[in-house]
Structure 1
Amino acid sequence: MLKKQGKDAEFQGLAMVDAIQRLGVEHLFQAEIDAILQRQYMMVPKTHNDTDLHEAALRFRLLRQEGYYVPAERTNRFKAEDGKFKKELTHEIKGLMGLYEASQLSIEGEVILDEAGDYSYQLLHSYMTSLDYPEARAVEHTLKHPHHKSHPKFLAKDFVTNLQGANGWMNELQELAKFDFTMVQSQHQQEILRISEWWKELGLNKELEFARDQPLKWWIWSMTVLTDPSLPEQRIDLVTISFVYMIDDIFDAYGTLDDLTLFTQVVDRWDIAATEQLPDYMGICFNALNNVTNEISFKWASLGNAFLIEAKWFASGDLPNSEEYLKNGNLSLGVNAVLVHLFFLLGQGITKENVELIDANPGIINSTARILRLWDDLGIAKVQRQGCSVESVRKHVHQMISETWKQLNKECLFQNPFSLTFTKACLNVARMVPLMHRYDENYRLPILEEHISSLLH
């Protein structure tokens, strides 16, 4: 059915690709998806007179998601001579939902997509109280969880729930997704067992009692960043993310400034012999880190230096300006170290060219790290001392997050030197960040816990 051609089949092909991706089974159909989108991209010049907003918005979003550049100006055909969106679009609920979804793939300077996003959001939000329940629920879901900025793994059930009167290929696709879900669930359960055994054998939870003991949470990052079922070994290896948390706790909760400075110097030099100068708990952490990974020592050194800078700020009370804080914060959250580790885990050889590429702090990594840094700061309000209200600060940070997403979109949209798997992994990190920061009053993550429970049980 995915290989059918013809005018009617073309839109159905787009709808099927969308459903496949939302159900999280694109790994079963990647060749067919690639063929459909390549064909759709070749057709773009012939669609300038299309008047179906839903179809046009869906085509635009799916193509951009896969890295095809479609000009934002194509949205102009849905505007009247006065520059405003045509009145007949006002009550096209599906079209407006598609337009809002498409606007999430804007890059810096695309004012028309910003306008489309605001226009569709305001209309859809105003209709919420007048629509019947199923349609209102679907609209609310779109506004809260636009596909491009949400993790499909956690939203597949909502997508099925929002389907009304599904039949034919959609029913078959749902059955396939349920079967695939069961297979992947079993695989994930095995991965968790292996990680738990690794963590137990490593023994850091006993040696460093003050540090976080959360192997399941660390695996969640791996599982949501690398979603392809064919990458179990890479997911397990990526759980070295645990060291980001270990070192963070050493700097934030335990070490003295003198000890932290010494620890940073040892990591900076990657000096095994010098571990004798460290306190026992620091030596244990460094030796474990050295045993687990050696190739990316430079990035772990950068992480240690970033932690030390923050420790010195905290000790002196001399707060940085926002630019200095964000620049260092991009490193101190550990995203750079983790993504560099992932880059090589995905099979990129340790060549001079690859080291230079990754060492240059490329935009795709920097943008991903900045999104995480900004979301983290929404919870702790580390801002310059300017007497701003909390609400105004939050609004400003949300705007910065939106602008950083545009930078990340640009990195993913135009040709970059990274593999599709790595590119999607960076996107998945950015998508996961909001879920990792939705704490309740008990400092728990109830929404994330609910999602994980549904995946594993």
Structure 2
Amino acid sequence: MFRNFFDENGDCKPKISLNINGMLSLYEASYFAKEGEEMLEMARHYTTKHLTKYLESCENNDPRMKEHISHALDLPLNWRMERLHTRWFIDQYKIGEQIRHALWELAVLDFNLNQNLYKEELKQVSRWWTCLRLHENLPFIRDRLVENYLSCVGGAFEPEHYNYRIAQTQVNCLLTTVDDIYDVYGSLNELEAFTKAIEQWDIAATEVLPEYMQLCLSALFNNVENHSNSVFERKGLNVSPILRRAWKDFCTASLVEARRYHEGYVPTLEEYLDNGWFSVAAHVIISYAYCINDDVTEKNLEQFSSGYPDIVRYSSLICRLYNDLATSNDELKRGDTKGSMIQCYMHQKKVTESVARQERI
């Protein structure tokens, strides 16, 4: 279909080049390209060049179009969080020439109603986080409540997904806490005992742990119990084994990385990814989302209990790769030297960091 936009030389046909709205739409469409779709890659290159040139030319006397193009070149729609972008669209639509006031007022009303809901949810998770006092008693952890909540809004902004946003914000905060214990603060002996307590899933097993670990595990055990009880009351289903399994797999994988660091062992890329798709914790987030869903059934749980579906593994691998590409430098600065995908690839292939990043992309 996109071949119709280009001539035999690979340039956009005049009717497209002269249509700036069409050029902008083609630019946005190019970001849906999959690997190997050379036509869309070519479209992205050409439209980016053309739109940039249009911004710089004296022909551009439309401030609204200039804002649209500048906004798109900064970050395409496909890469933005949908709900966060709503406010920008509302403001832009208001200054349009053919505004339908009823539609604009409906958009504003919808935005404000959802904002009120989000504020109430944030108050609720803030009270929960404050009552736990983990950020006070464990000063080394990252206190990222608002970030965690915002990411949940980005994933599911609709009002009916209230339970999901609350649960996932709590889970993300606990994941960050446990991750920092493994990566930054805990000694290897402490981490061995911490992982053993998780595997046994017995509050009595935490008595031998340092106080900061006891506080963390108490919060984690209570979280799993509360959400399991909630699902049982609503659906009559026992999701506790699935949630426990997710946490056990995450902690076991995190311990493997801690051991490697203390032993000075740099794994091959394959070894790293085999363990890393668990340590990135995407399977924990997916397990919670699956279990607290109102549509979950006993048959679904039986299938999920037998093992992680391929879609969970592959989604986790994508998260692992993106996480390492984006955060490896920051993690090194804050003392997290467990070894990222980038470091493993550099060591295995004997290449520089820039080469490793480019080749893995």
Asked whether the two chains share a fold, i.e. TM above 0.5, the reply is: yes
Amino acid at match of 2:20: I
2:3 match? 76
Quick one: distance in 1 between partners of 2:210 and 2:148? 26
The residue number in structure 2 matching 1:229 is 159
For 1:304-323, what aligned pairs fall within 5 Å after superposition? 304-323=251-270
Q: Which structure 2 residues correspond to residues 238-253 of structure 1 after superposition, within 5 A?
A: 238-239=168-169, 240-253=171-184
Tell me how far 1:254 sits from its aligned partner.
Answer: 1.8
Of residues 32, 44, 48, the one that matches 1:121 is 48
Is the contact made by 1:333 and 1:373 (CA closer than 8 Å) also made in structure 2?
no
The CA deviation string for residues 365-411 of structure 1, in whole angstroms up to 9 with x for no partner, is: 54345333432236458532445265x555556xx2xxxxxxxxxxx
Q: Distance in 2 between matches of 1:96 and 1:233?
A: 41
Change (3 A) 1:395 1:352: same
Equivalent residue runs for 1:37-436 within 5 Å: 74-82=1-9, 84-130=11-57, 131-132=60-61, 133-163=63-93, 165-169=96-100, 171-239=101-169, 240-293=171-224, 295=240, 296-347=243-294, 348-349=296-297, 351-356=301-306, 358-360=308-310, 361-377=312-328, 379-380=330-331, 382=340, 383=342, 384-385=346-347, 386=350, 388=352, 390=354, 400=361
Query: C-alpha displacement at 1:114, in angstroms?
Result: 1.8
Q: 2: distance between equivalents of 1:173 and 1:216? A: 31
| Residues 378 and 76 of structure 1: CA distance in aligned 2, closer, same or farther (over 3 Å) | farther
Kept in 2: contact 1:218–1:242 (CA 8 A): yes
Amino acid at match of 1:349: T
Higher mean alpha-carbon deviation, 253-262 vs 331-340, is at 331-340
Pick closer, same or farther for the CA change 1:107–1:274 going to 2, 3 Å.
same
SS in 2 for 1:154: coil
Distance in 1 between the 2:20 and 2:271 partners? 44
User: Does the 8 Å CA contact 2:90/2:107 hold for their aligned counterparts?
Assistant: no
Shift of 1:86: 2.2
Q: Distance in 2 between matches of 1:245 and 1:209?
A: 13
> Where has structure 1 moved over 6 Å in runs of 4 or more?
none
Unpaired runs of 5+ residues, structure 2, are 226-239, 333-339
Aligned equivalents of 1:214 and 1:379: distance in 2? 15
Change (3 A) 1:218 1:82: closer
- How many residue pairs align between the two structures? 323
Structure 1 length normalisation: TM-score?
0.63
Change (3 A) 1:96 1:377: farther
User: What is the CA distance between 1:99 and its match in structure 2?
Assistant: 0.9
Q: How big is the shift at 1:285?
A: 1.5
The 1:128/1:380 distance shift into structure 2, 3 A limit, reads farther
CA drift of 1:98 comes to: 0.8
Taking structure 2 as the reference length, the TM-score comes to: 0.79
Q: Partner letter of residue 129 of structure 1?
A: E
C-alpha distance in structure 2 between counterparts of 1:377 and 1:100, whole Å: 31
Residue 30 of structure 2 aligns to which amino acid in structure 1? S
User: Do 2:197 and 2:205's aligned partners in 1 also have CA atoms closer than 8 Å?
Assistant: yes
Report the alpha carbon displacement of residue 173 of structure 1 after superposing the two structures with TM: 2.1
Would the alpha carbon gap of residues 166 and 134 (structure 1) be closer, same or farther in structure 2, given more than 3 Å must change?
Answer: closer
Separation in 2, partners of 1:284, 1:352: 32
CA distance in 2, matches of 1:394, 1:108: 17
Report the aligned-residue RMSD. Answer: 2.7
1:221 partner letter? S
What is the match of residue 336 of structure 2? Answer: none
Q: Shift in Å at residue 142 of structure 1?
A: 0.9
Rounded Cα–Cα distance in structure 2 between residues aligned with 1:357 and 1:318: 29
Classify 1:174/1:373 alpha carbon distance in 2 versus 1 (closer, same or farther; 3 Å).
farther
Contact 2:140–2:185 under 8 Å retained in 1:
yes
